[in-house]
Structure 1
C-alpha cells in the first residue's frame, strides 16, 4: 500500500485501552521480514538513520569522531566513507523488503573506466591499481535471491502463507489458538475483555522510529499508539553484562593493546586515554558490525530494549518459520566483504568477495545467465554478440590492508565517552579545561588491555557513556 509517506506495511494491533498498552500484533510475512531485518543493520547505519542521535552508549560520539577526523589519519579516503555508511551484508535481501529501513542505495557498484580492468567496488573511490572509478548503476538482483523471495510466495526471511503474532517486546511466533490463549493468561485477561483492534499502515519513517523504540524500550509496539517513556539506562555493571563465555575465553592469538589512561587520583573519573592506531581502529570498526552480531556476543543488548527478544525468536518461537537459507544470516550476521577491521574482537565473519558476470561492455549489465541478452543488442546500431566475463570485488581500503587507520607512530586522545581526536598539545589542554580538574589531582597509568578487557570495553561502548571508567577503574559499588 502507498501513502503520502511512501510504501507502507499493515499490522493489526490488539490494544488494552484501559491500561494503554498494546498486547500483541497480528501480521503477515512483510512486517516480520522488516523486524528481522533490524538484526542485519550495521551499527553505523543505525546511527546514520537516527542522524547521530541513536543514544546507544558511545556510538554517536564514535560516529561523529569518524566524521570529524582528518583524512590524513585513514589508510585511504574511502575508509571514512566505509565507516560512515557501512554496507549491510544482507543488502540484496533487504532490498526486497516491502518497506526499506536503510535508505542507502546499494544497487550502485563502482567500476574502472579502463576496459582492461576487471574489478569493482561497492564504495566510490575504492583503491585500484588501474586508476579512477566511475559510477555505473548496473546491479541486477542475483538469481538465487530472486528464487528465494519470489518462487513460492515466501517472504524475504520468513515463510509466507502464515499469520504471525508479535508481542509488545517483539517476540515473533506463528499465530495459533493455543498461543492466543496463553497470551490471555499472561495478561490476566478474560475472553470477553474489551480489547480494541486497530490496523496501522507503517511507512519507512514509522518503521525507523519503531527500530529506535526497540533499542530503548521493551514496549516497542505500545509506542505506536501511546506515549511511553524510555527506561533510564541507570548504572551498568559491565562484569555482569559480559557473558561467562566471553569473560572466561582464552585470549588466543590476541596482541595486547597498550594505552595510557589519565584519571583522577581518587579513581572517581577518567579524563581521557592516549592511544595508538590499533585502539582507534578497533573501536571505529564497531560501526560496521551488524546489530545481530553484537546481540549474539553479549546477549541482552541494549539492556533496556527488546532486540534480544527479537533475536531469540529466530531459533526460538519462530523456529520453523524462518527460511532455512536465511537462518544463519539472522543468528550470525556477517560483515560485508572487506568491512572488518584489524582486530575482529567480536569474531564475526566477513562475506567472501563477490564475483559478478556481465554480458555487455557498453551497459555493464549484470546477468545470472548467458542466455538472456542485454537491451543494447536489440538496438540495430549497437547490434553485436555480447561478450561475457567476470569482474571481481576488491578491497576498497587497499590491496593488503584490513585496518581503517594508518599505522606508524601516531597517537590519539580518546575521552571517557569515546570521542576520538588526534593527539596535540592544544587538544590535551582543551580536555583539561573542559574537565576543570587541577593537574595535581590527576594521574597517568599505562595499561596493556587483554582480550577480556577489550570485550568489556566494547560492551561498555554499546550501553554507557562511561565507557573507559566503567571498565578500567575499580567498581563504584
Structure 2
C-alpha cells in the first residue's frame, strides 16, 4: 500500500534487544495509544474488511468471522430483506466511537458522519432512515438527505452514553511491552518492567524512533490477533501472521440463567448434520433466524466480545490490550455476568438470542424559514414534530416498520451453514452436492435436531473468533451420542446368539 507524503504519522520509540532482534518495550505518546485502543472499538466486520483491503494477496482469517463476512459479500441482494441489510453488514457502524476517532491524528477507519434520509414528502411523513435505499411507510424511497443540527449533540443523543473515559486524554506518555501491556510512563514503572523482562543491564539495549503510518498500523492490527509479540513482528520482522490460532475444544456455557430470564429465554432450532465417528457437526440446515444471529456478530465491537468472553478464549494479545484499556480508563465496563451489546437500532432482530441494546433516537424536525435556502433539519431539541426512525430492514410488505421488526435475511428462507460458518442459501446449495463434497459415506452421518438458547449463542460468538470449527466447538455438548446398533444372529455351531456391534 503506497503511502502519501502527506499521510499523518504518529511517533513510536522502540527499545530493542538487537542480539535477539526483539522489541523489549516501546515508549509512546497519546496519539499511538489512541490508535491501539481504537482497535477495540472496531466492529468485527470492519476488522475483516480493513485487513482484507490492506493485503489482498494473502487471505485474512479471524476465526470464522472472515467466512461470515465473505458469505455476505457472496450472497445476492435478493437473499436479504432489503439492500440496506447487506450494506449495514458489510460496513457496520459504531457511531460514538467513530466520532471520537475522527479527532485522532491517525484514524484507522475513516467514516462519514451520521446521516439521515427521508422521502420526498418529509416532514409530512415524519420518518427517517440512515440508509438512502430504505422505503418509507408511504411507499416512497427515502433518498432525500436531511440536514442535522448540532451534529455532535445528535450523536451523543443517539447513544445516550457518556463519552468520558472512552479513550485516554490526559496522560501524555506510556510504556508498552511487546505483548501490549500498557502502563503510565514513569521511572518506577520503567524499572519494574525492565526487571520483570530480565533486562537489568540497559547498556545492551538500543533505541529506535519510528514514524508510524496507516500501513504499519494495519499490519499491527493483524499481529494483535495472531502473535504473542506483535511489536516485534510488525516493526522488526516486517511480517504478520494471517491466521488466528485454532482451537477445537468444546466450550462450556458462560452464562448462568436465573429467575424469569431463564423461563423467558428464546430458542432457535435447526438440523445438525453430524459425523458419527467423532460427533463433529459438518454443517447445519437452518432458517433465517439462525443466520440473522450469526450475521449480528459482524456488528459487535471487539471490546464487547472480549468482555463477555473473559478468560475463556485465547486471542493473540487482545486480552492484554483490553485489560490495559480498562485499567487506564475510568469508563465503567459491562459485567460478564450480564453481557449486553450496544448497537445501532437497525441491528436488532426479531428472534435475537444475544442481549442487544439498541439506540433509541429522540429526534425532532425544525424548519429553516430562510427564503434563500429553506431546509428541514433534524435536531435533538424538542420542536413541534417528532421524528421516528424506520427500520431499514423494512421492505414495504410487513405491517410493522419500527426498530426490531425483522432480520437481515428474507423471511421463510432456508440456509446451510458449515462448521466454519460459511453461509449459503439453500436454494443454491444441492443437498446431494453438499454430501458429495464431504466425501463421506452416508452411513457415517446422521441428522440431529438441535435447539439453542442465549448461553449457547454466546458460546458460538466466542468460538467464532478463535476457531475454524465454531459449530462443533460451541454446540458439541448438545449432540447426542447414540449407542452403536447391535447385530444379533444365531450361531448353529455353538447354538448361541452371536452379537456384533
TM-score band w.r.t. shorter chain: 0.7 to 0.9
Matches within 5 A, 1:149-164: 157-164=167-174
Residue 71 of structure 2 is aligned with which of 65, 86, 101? 65
Which position in structure 2 is the counterpart of 1:464?
A: 467
Which position in structure 2 is the counterpart of 1:396?
A: 392
Distance in 1 (alpha carbons) for counterparts of 2:335 and 2:453: 29
> Which protein shows a greater Rg?
2
| Change beyond 3 A, Cα 1:161–1:223 | same
Q: C-alpha offsets along residues 383-412 of structure 1, whole Å, 9 cap, x if unaligned?
A: xxxx99875544322323443245754321
Matches within 5 A, 1:366-381: none
Distance in 2 (alpha carbons) for counterparts of 1:393 and 1:279: 26
The question of whether the paired residues in 1 share the 8 Å contact of 2:266 and 2:351 is answered with: no
Matches within 5 A, 1:5-154: 6-51=7-52, 53-89=59-95, 90-116=97-123, 117-130=125-138, 131-134=140-143, 136=145, 138=147, 141-142=151-152
Shift of 1:336: 2.3
Shift of 1:15: 1.5
> When the two structures are aligned, how many residues end up with a matched partner?
442
- Unmatched segments (≥5 aa) in structure 1: 147-153, 371-386
Residue 181 of structure 1 is aligned with which of 174, 191, 210? 191
| Change beyond 3 A, Cα 1:340–1:212 | farther
Q: C-alpha offsets along residues 126-175 of structure 1, whole Å, 9 cap, x if unaligned?
A: 342242233648566415989xxxxxxx9972123521222222222211
Q: C-alpha offsets along residues 358-401 of structure 1, whole Å, 9 cap, x if unaligned?
A: 6746466777899xxxxxxxxxxxxxxxx998755443223234
Shift of 1:274: 0.9
The question of whether the paired residues in 1 share the 8 Å contact of 2:350 and 2:405 is answered with: yes
Residue 205 of structure 1 is aligned with which of 206, 210, 215? 215
The question of whether the paired residues in 2 share the 8 Å contact of 1:359 and 1:388 is answered with: no
Shift of 1:82: 0.9
The answer to whether structure 1 residue 233 and structure 2 residue 229 are counterparts is: no
The question of whether the paired residues in 2 share the 8 Å contact of 1:124 and 1:133 is answered with: yes
Distance in 2 (alpha carbons) for counterparts of 1:425 and 1:44: 24
Q: CA RMSD, aligned part only? A: 3.4
Distance in 1 (alpha carbons) for counterparts of 2:152 and 2:12: 30
Which position in structure 2 is the counterpart of 1:443?
A: 446
| Change beyond 3 A, Cα 1:158–1:132 | same
Which position in structure 2 is the counterpart of 1:277?
A: 288
The answer to whether structure 1 residue 215 and structure 2 residue 225 are counterparts is: yes
TM-score by length of 2: 0.77
- Unmatched segments (≥5 aa) in structure 2: 54-58, 157-163, 395-400, 480-501
The question of whether the paired residues in 2 share the 8 Å contact of 1:42 and 1:291 is answered with: yes
Q: C-alpha offsets along residues 60-111 of structure 1, whole Å, 9 cap, x if unaligned?
A: 1111222222333323221111111111132211222211111333354434
The question of whether the paired residues in 2 share the 8 Å contact of 1:359 and 1:389 is answered with: no
Distance in 2 (alpha carbons) for counterparts of 1:9 and 1:280: 41
| Change beyond 3 A, Cα 1:329–1:145 | farther
